[in-house]
Structure 1
């Protein structure tokens, strides 16, 4: 992910996951960007991974 438009797509998809209250993206050109997701309750990793995949990216847990 290299631009604000890319980040916006990821944010849009993640906000559709039930329980998500906030999504923040830290873009790091040429490296791995970081996405932070806040929620009311525990999220399913499969749901989060699915949303990121639908946005055209892959998820790597840190």
Structure 2
């Protein structure tokens, strides 16, 4: 199997929703109530269109 090179990015990524250049990403930390396993959910969103790019769960 061929190896894939990982190289530094020379350009900023584009938002998959609005197509704007992402030079930053906003995050919103939300407390999860009633679930003992999870403490917070963090939503990452585009600063231009505000649509969610990713969500991650955290215990702290």
Larger radius of gyration: 2
Mark yes or no: TM-score above 0.5. Answer: no
TM-score by length of 1: 0.29
Question: Which structure: greater strand fraction?
Answer: 2
TM-score by length of 2: 0.30
